[in-house]
Each structure stands twice: as C-alpha cells, then as structure tokens.
Structure 1
Amino acid sequence: MQNQPSLSISHLYLVVETMQRRNGALFGSLYYCVVLCLIAIVNAEDPYRFFTWNVTYGDIYPMGIRQQGILINGQFPGPEIYSVTNDNLIINVFNNLPEPFLISWNGIQQRRNSYVDGVYGTTCPIPSGQNFTYKLQVKDQIGSFYYFPSLGFQKAAGGFGAIKILSRPRIPVPFSDPADDYSILIGDWYTTNHTRLEKIMDLGWRLPFPDGVLINGRGDGGVTYNVEQGKTYRLRISNVGLQNTLNFRIAGHTMTLVEVEGTHTVQTSLSSLDVHVGQSYSVLVTADQPPQDYYIAVSSRFTSQTLNTTAVLRYANSGKPVSGTPPPPPDNDISWSLNQARSIRTNLTASGPRPNPQGSYHYGQINITRTIKITGSAAIIDRKQRYHVNGVSFTAADTPLKLADYFNISGVFKVGSIPDEPTNNAPYLNTSVMGADFRAFIEIVFENKENIIQSWHLDGYNFFVVGMDEGRWSETSRNTYNLVDAVSRCTVQVYPKSWTAIYLGLDNVGMWNIRNEFWVRQYLGEQFYLRVYSPVMSSRDEYPLPQNALLCGRAVGKSS
C-alpha cells in the first residue's frame, strides 16, 4: 500500500504531460501545481517544487560583444534552483532550440535513478520543439551545485545556473543564518560561437585560449553584491567554465570556508580560494570594513597568460567607489594551491546528511576491495586530436548506455571495455564502460602525467578525497592518507605531475559518468561510464525506467 501514492503521481504526470502538449506550458504548470500539491499534502510526502523552463537562443553581451547564447526563460545565466533537503524537483523543460538539448545536474546524486542524470550515456536528448519533465529528488543532500547543458559544446553558450539546497529548518547548521545568500557562477569564456568551436575540435585542431572570465554572465565588472556593515553573507561559488582553474578573492576581506559540494567543512579563514573547473564552495564574508565599494576579483591560474575580471562588493551608504587595482592572485605556485586543497576537511561535529558507506561513518575502517588507477592523456588518433582514459578514447554510442542496459540491447557497449589501470598499448576509440559491484568499497587513484591541472567529476556520488601529492603514486602513498575527516565531494583536482586518491562506496546502482571537467577533453574522449550493478534487480536498489522517459536510438519502440 505504501507504493500506491507514487504510482498515482506517476499516472498523473502522464496525464499532465499529454495536456501540456495539447494546451501549452502554462496550463500544464498550473495543473501540476494543483494536482501534485494536493497529493503531497494528503500523503504527507516530501515537498514538491515546480519549474517550467523555456530554452531558446538569444543575444547576450558577456564580453561587450553580441553573441548567440542559450537562455532559460530569457535569462543568462539560467534561473537558480532553490530547494531544501529531500525536496522533489519537477522541472519541465521546453526545448525551443533548433537542435537537441540535454541538462545535467552537477553534484545532484540522483539516488537509484541514473535515467535522469542528464548526460547522453543515460538520458535521451530533448528533441527540438519538444519538452521533457525531469523528476529529481535532492535526497539527503545539502549544499551548493549547478546545472549545465551536457550535449556537444553547448556549455560554451550558456544554459547553466546555480542549485542551492538548504538544510531542513530543524537541522542545525554550524554557523548563524547569513544576512543574504548569493550564488556566484564564475568561468572562462569564448566569444566564438559554440558551433564554431565544435567544428574546430571535430577537425582535429586545438582550441584557442579563452577570451575572458565571467562572473554571473558578465566580464565587464558590472556585477554588484550589496551588503550592510557588520552583517555576514554566504557566497556560493561555482566554476562553471570550460577549462581553467580560477582564483576568487575580495579586496580587504577574509573569507571563511564552510561548505564544499554538500559537505560542511572545518571553518578555515582564507584570503583567496582556488576553484577548479566543476567545483563548488561556500564561504562566509563579514562586511567589517569601512562603508565603500570593494573589488571582487577572479583570475585564471597556472596559465601562460592570466585572464582577469572583477565584480563589486558594495556597502550600504558607500562613500567611495572602487579605485586602484584589484587585489592580485597568489603566485602561480602549485604547492600553495596543493596545501590549500589538503587543508579542506569535513566538520565532523556538524549536523546534516553525511556519507555512510556500508553503514559506517568511519570510512577509514572499511576494507578496500579494489584499486582503480585512472590516467587521462592527450593523443593523436586517426590523425586527429583526441584524449583518452587508460588508453581508451570514449565515443558515444547510437543509444544511451543506460537504456541499452535496461532493454538488453546488444552491441551498444561492453562491460570491461576499459582497463582498471593504464596500459602501454596505443590509444584507440571505444564506448568505454567499466563494471563495478553494488556496495563495494573501492579506491580510485587519479594520476596526472601532464603539465596542466586536471579536474575529475563522478556523477551520482560523493567520494572521500583521502590524499593528493606531487610525484608518482605508490602503495606507500597510502601512509599519507587522511582516514578520519577527508572532505566528501564530487569533483576533485589533480595537480600537474601529481596524483589524487579517493575512497568511494558504491551504494548507488546505475550507469554513472566519470569525466574530465575540461570540456574540450571530455568532448574528445576523456570520459567513461561506471556501471554499478546489483544482480537482485530490486526497486529498493534502483528505480524502474521512468514512465515519461524519452526513447531514442535502438530503444525507440521498446516497452518497459
């Protein structure tokens, strides 16, 4: 009997979606709100939040030059998703682009439901002129995240926005309520149209250096954050860019780090913060200086040339505009950034959701059953620039891998098509999928043999960053691991000629993307999928295929 309300809701979704196609977005959205809110009240379910998004192209001027950007409800960046732990998010996306579109949810774990992860390996794109309703639940999550378009190079045109998940009101947070809570999206940017950038890569050429850095969609210093003297504010900073680590700082002010991708951290005072591609942080800033305007500065790091941009922290009754030069970034010293990263630790005294692998909060006491070594590198394959993981450069199949798995469609992918560690074989193209057992507890070592920083992300999970250092990893490196309060997050950097080790409890069945967040490298093959498998095939371990799932490729015409 407990499953009947969910079944009823699913049936109503189908009714509503049919009415939407016939009567338009407004009618459908109102119908959702009335019907589903009544059901939620009657059955005392977790709250529902409803969003209707219209995705279009439109003119944007991020660098003072007109460009074609991807807008959501006419906005660039897109609208913020505001939610609370365990909320159900109903996001109806109308694709009015002349091409397919797909949104991924960076850091939202999608427990037992990789079908809606929003990358092509799991989810069919929304065809032009059609809509799709994402049904997400931010189950047992808090923190700062973002969404972005995952197809091709659409991320270079916009379509991204912030996700904010607050703790439930009765769950204490390890700091006082801020006076305000600002989401700040930073990232490098090209003025070249994203379709042109795709063609450059498809021809096997390297992309030029980015043209600038944006703060909330602007690179001209025109963004202002208003504060009042004596009050404290929360800044949620996400690097939604394409390839560069960025340093964030505020003239005359220190920041207190309080949260990293859903984990409350030991509160550390910072003068500046390195934010690597795909990462999100929360800091507190107290307006404790004389009332005037202060620079917020963002700069690229560890690059041949430095990209800079600014915003303004404006005090109420400000008596002086910004003047002089913005505060400079730290020296391009890898050891400085490495030490900052290793200082980030979990606040073990904080309330709220915490990883609980195999029923133990003491991850350092769980036996490792498998070690996977991941090395991403550049290579020329078929006379074109490509990137690979352990010698395999990922190529997309004609059908999302998760759908092929569900419908038992042969010939789409093969489990084990990527090795657990690098080989000396020549790199080659393949639809690479690595198999893994449900509830296993594993170690993954990312080794970076290149002279640039890499940034790796795993969909569907947070993991414990137990160690990182310069040089080559060896088994003796485990002696340096933090097995007590390592930070739990979903995106981690690997410094040049260095390694990073993570511990991962495989408690989320599904098909999950592991990728380099440098979007050029992801686009050209530096990614693969981790198939976390349970032979039981129980709905307690994994939800069934959503009734509204789009079917494409060889899954067209299949029935669940």
Structure 2
Amino acid sequence: MRSATASRQRLAVLMAITLWSVSGLITLCAESPYRFFDWTVTYGDIYPLGVRQQGILINGQFPGPEIYSVTNDNIVVNVRNNLPEPFLLSWNGVQMRKNSYEDGVYGTTCPIPPGKNFTYNFQMKDQIGSFFYFPSLAFHKAAGGYGAIRILSRPLIPVPFPEPAGDFTVLIGDWYEANHKVMKAVLDGGHRLGFPDGILINGRGPTGASFTVDKGKTYRLRISNVGLQHSLNFRVQGHLMKLVEVEGTHTIQASYSSIDVHVGQSYSVLITMDQPAQDYYIAVSTRFTTKILTSTAVLHYSNSIRPVSGPVPCGPTTEIGWSINQARSIRTNLTASGPRPNPQGSYHYGQINVTRTINLVSSAGLINQKQRYGVNGVSFVPAADNTPLKIADYFGIPGIFRVGSIPDSPSSRQLVLDTAVMGADYRTFVEIVFENLESIVQSWHLDGYNFWVVGMDGGRWTPASRKQYNLADAISRCTTQVYPRSWTAIYIALDNVGMWNLRTEFWARQYLGQQFYLRVFTPVKSLRDEFSIPANALVCGKAANRLLI
C-alpha cells in the first residue's frame, strides 16, 4: 500500500515538474530579477534653506530613497499615499516599454487616493543610466517627493571606463520657501511665480551636502536637475569632469570644467581626485538669469588638511554661444555597448526616411483673464471628469479626448483650452522641431522614449536647416533644451505603443497647460506590441464602475 501510494506521489511530482517545465520553465529561467520597494508618502517638516517648510517625504526621507537596479530588472514599488489628497509618482526617463499604464502622469494613471496604496510594476527593459522620479500632480514637485534612479549595466556587458571607486547621486534644483499649496493657488489664480529663493543639492542649501573621496581615486557623479524652472551650471573647484553618460547613452568622453544641466536632464561624469589633499567647493548656479543664485556642497578628501576656502568658483557668463557649443559637443560613443552587447551606433538613424515632421512652438496668453501656456495654440486641460486618457482609450469611453486636437504646426489662432492629444502611427520615424521664440531657455521631455538630438541653432528653422543635422553620432536622450530664439530638432523611432506625455519641464508652465499626449497607436491588439492593462490598475472618472478583464 505504501509502495503504491509512494509511486502515485512520485508520478504526481513528475507530472507537476513536466507541466511546469512545458508551461513555465523557459519563461522563469529567462525572467530577470525582481527588486521590491515599499514606500510611504507623508508630509513632514524640512529645512532645506534654513526655514521650516512642509515637505513631501518618502519613508521619512527628503529626497526620497534611491532606486538601484540593473538592466532588465523588474521593479515593484508599493506606494502608500498618506497625504490628505491624491498623489502620483512618475519616472523621468524610464521608458516603460509597452506599458504606459505605469507612467504615473495624469493621462495614463488614476491618482492614488488618500490612505490607499498602488503598486507600480515595470521593467528597466534594455536601459542603463541615470534618471529620477518625482510627483506629477497638484504642484507636489515643489514640495519634494523626488529621488534618484540608477540602472547599471549587466555584469557581462562591457562599460567604456574602469569601475569607479565610488558612485554618488547629486540631485540639484531651484527651490522656493513658499508652501507648494500657496504656489499652486498663485498659479490657479492666473498669476506667475516669482524668482526662486535658492538652489538645493541633495535636498540641502549652501554647504549642506558633502562627498568624501580618497586622493588619487576616480569617482562617478550622477547629476540630475530636478528643479522647477532654471537651467543650472555644475562645477567642481580645481577639478575637470569627464562626461561618460547622458540619460542612458554612453558619450564620447570629453572633459569639461563645468556643465550646463537643464531642467529634467541627467548627466554622469567621472572625476579623478588629483589635487592637493584638502576640501573643495562643488558649485551650482542658475544660468541665463539676471540674478544669479548659487549653492555649494563640499568635496572632502579623506586626508584633507584644510577646509574649503577662498571664493566659490565662478560659472560661465550668460552668453548663449558657450552653452550651445557645449551641447553640440555631447555625442554618442559609437564604440561602446549599451544595455545589449551590440554597439549603440549600430542603429543608423541618419539613414532612415522621415515620414512626418512635427513643428512645436510654445504658446502663451490669457484665457478668462488668467495666465495659460500651451503648444501650437492649445493649452492642455484634463478631461472634465478627470478620466485618464489611457484608461478611456482602453475602455473605449467616448468624449474624453479627441485624437488630432492639437495640430502638427503652430496656429495663428488665439490660445484655446483642450485635452490635447496628437495621434501617431506605431513604427513610424518622425522628426520633431522645437522652436523657441522667447528670451528664455526651454526644456522639453517625452515620456516613453529616447530620441536623437540631431540639430540646434539660433533663429528660425527651415527645411534648409537639415543640412547641418548630425546624422552619425547625435546624442540619444529623453530631455532636450531649446535656447532663446532658437530651434532644436530631434528624430524619434515610434516603437513604443501607448499614451505618452510630451511636456515642458518648466513646471509652472506645464501645470498651466504646456503639454500634450502623443498617442502611439496600432490597431493590432497583441502583447507583442503592448501589455494588457494591469490587474491592479485604479479606475476613476467615467471608468470608475468598469471591471478590468
């Protein structure tokens, strides 16, 4: 009896193993590692400029915890919202391949209600590099809630520089002492914000942050501008910086004494500690502003014999030419591997026919006696019932948005309000030209994608401007600047189906409508092209009573 029972048990085990092998072994063996994060979002007191403020903390931290990962890792972030209002996190630069439901902006994801949680699930698919996350609703970004994201290369993929002795995150950005709710009320009232009160380095004001290093060793600094408006210049007293990576792309390794980091951008530099053993200033200052704000941190040699002293090193002048020449010098390292073992330059973007040109110009004006901003004459407003566009698209809910509600070219009409959505076909190759007719530096970001920055210059763009495009080794990134009274052109391969936010990184303008959604669409419903809506997706607005299948 025991023998028969044992035989049946062994047979059951063998059958289970066989079924597991057939149905799941290949998937499980091929599946990349998972990394789990459990975050609680609260308000708390912070003192970044020496004055008590209400900040947004994640697990009691400001800035929030860092997401540390490796190419193709699966990321699971459980976010509990203990704020008294809805909350969302977005992932600046993480491409969310085939998965715009997890993008964490108004157009894709329902907000997390107060006292509730939502678990983000996404993969660092074929990505490396330095990025950051931030809160995307209700001007929360002005209160904190941001943190760093780093995606390391897999161990077998060669990196085009020796392993550094240390790897530091440096989050920089302009900052206001005013409460973010007061700032939001100012914007809601149709007014503009004043000049910021200071610059933060890793959440601290002047000389608050410090980085300890050993003489003779080389360190990596991952620098992200997480601020609200201003371009910033970054420099280290007495040291040169070797640029090695920009938003997931290995660069030609040129050395710089200072680097302009525009809003929303991220850079990685290597610095060798080759100076006398003492402490040095790390300086960050606003660019292209009449009033210059400067903040400092300390680079501390472990065997230092002297604290920081002397004047803070000056940044470049306000002259635009210096910055545009630096931007043009930042190019892709075609001999380096990216997240996969093939060379990054093997994708010859310059040899692909462009099927469509989109010309984008910022708009500004008063609507109902309130200040608004837009793109091509359209100022974005959420749908009346706050139904996310991607959710409405999934359920086929009419009346939420209209594809084509923003034109491909600027309009002479007065600024209008609309839930702006531009349609685009999957697997097309598109040129976008940003034209800046203003006297400020603009910064533009596209979720879900990296793009090639093929050209930039002063004046107006014309078809003849294509003659100066870099069609060989232009940098691939997700955020680009457009200089005053200038243009910037980018190429994009639309290979990521979904609803993707294209926005200014000037956050007050984004809040007041300078954004729209690019709906990259294919009629073929296949998991090969786009993942299904997550089983845990929140539903709201007109989708509130819909059941997920």
Superposition TM-score, scaled by structure 1 size: 0.92
Distance 1:504 1:253 in 2: 36
Q: 1:369 to 1:326 in 2, by over 3 A?
A: same
**What is the aligned counterpart of 2:183 among 168, 184, 197?**
197
Q: CA deviation at 1:304?
A: 1.9
Is contact 1:258–1:264 with CA below 8 Å preserved after alignment? yes
Q: Which structure 2 residues correspond to residues 311-460 of structure 1 after superposition, within 5 A?
A: 311-353=297-339, 361-397=347-383, 398-460=386-448
Counterpart amino acid of 2:540? Answer: C
What residue number does 2:172 align with? 186
Aligned-residue sequence identity (percent) comes to 70
| Corresponding position of 1:174 | 160
The CA distance in 2 between the partners of 1:42 and 1:534, in whole Å, is 29
Q: Structure 1 unaligned segments of length 5 or more: list them.
A: 10-38
Residue 486 of structure 1, aligned match among 474, 488, 496? 474
Query: Residues 366-417 of structure 1: CA distance to partner in whole angstroms, max 9, x if unpaired?
Result: 0000000000122111111000100000001120000000000000000000
Deviation at 1:360, TM superposition (A): 6.7
Q: Which residue of 1 aligns with 2:250?
A: 264
Q: Is the 8 A contact 1:64 1:220 kept in 2?
A: no
Alignment correspondent of 2:487? 499
Please report how far the alpha carbon of residue 218 of structure 1 lies from its aligned counterpart in structure 2 after TM superposition: 0.4
**Alignment partner for residue 557 of structure 1, among 542, 545, 548?**
545
Amino acid at match of 2:213: V
Deviation at 1:351? 1.0
Cα deviation 1:443-464 (Å, max 9, x = unaligned): 0000000000000000000000
* 8 Å CA contact retained: 1:40, 1:47: no
Are 1:469 and 2:461 counterparts? no
Q: Deviations over 1:487-510 (max 9, x none)?
A: 000000000000000000000000
Distance 1:250 1:384 in 2: 42
Cα 1:552–1:259 shift into 2, 3 Å = same
Cα distance in 1 between the residues matched to 2:286 and 2:246: 20
Deviation, 1:44, is 4.5
Counterpart code for 1:425: R
Partner SS, residue 309 of structure 2: coil
Contact 2:445 / 2:502 at 8 angstroms: preserved in 1?
Answer: yes
Mapped partners of 2:91, 2:393: distance in 1: 22
Which residue of structure 1 aligns with residue 120 of structure 2? Answer: 134
Distance in 2 between the 1:271 and 1:145 partners? 23
Match for 2:446: what amino acid? L
Query: How far has the Cα of 1:45 moved from its partner?
Result: 1.5
TM superposition shift of 1:250: 0.3
1:14-413 correspondence runs (5 A):
43-353=29-339, 361-397=347-383, 398-413=386-401
Aligned 8 A contact 1:295 1:326 in 2: yes
Indicate if the aligned counterparts of 1:40 and 1:48 stay in contact, CA closer than 8 A. no
CA contact (8 A) 2:247 2:265 kept: yes
The 2-side partners of 1:185 and 1:242 are apart by 13
Per the alignment, do residues 545 and 503 of structure 1 end up closer, same or farther by CA in structure 2, a change over 3 Å counting?
same
Q: What is the SS of the residue equivalent to 2:275?
A: coil
Structure 1 residue 354, shift from structure 2 partner: 7.1
Q: Structure 2: how far apart are the matches of 1:142 and 1:162?
A: 13
**Local SS of the residue matching 1:201:** helix
Contact 2:131 2:266 in 1 (8 A): yes
Cα distance in 2, alignment partners of residues 354 and 457 from structure 1: 24
Q: Structure 2: how far apart are the matches of 1:299 and 1:414?
A: 42
CA–CA distance in structure 2, aligned partners of residues 353 and 283 of structure 1: 18
State the alpha-carbon separation in 2 of the partners of residues 537 and 321 from structure 1.
62
Residue by residue, what CA displacement relative to the aligned partner does 1:296-324 show, whole Å, maximum 9, x if unpaired? 00000001201110000000110000011
The alignment covers a number of residue pairs equal to 524
- 1:149–1:155: 8 Å Cα contact kept in structure 2? yes
1:536 aligns with 2:524: yes
In structure 2, the residue corresponding to 1:485 is in which secondary structure? coil
**Match of 2:251, SS?**
strand
Q: 1:29 is matched with which residue? A: none
Larger Rg: 2
Which has the higher mean CA deviation after the structures are superposed, 524-533 or 359-368?
A: 359-368
> Which residue in the other structure is 2:10 paired with?
none
**1:508 correspondence with 2:505:** no
Structure-1 separation of matches of 2:44 and 2:26: 37
- TM-score, length of structure 2 as denominator length: 0.94
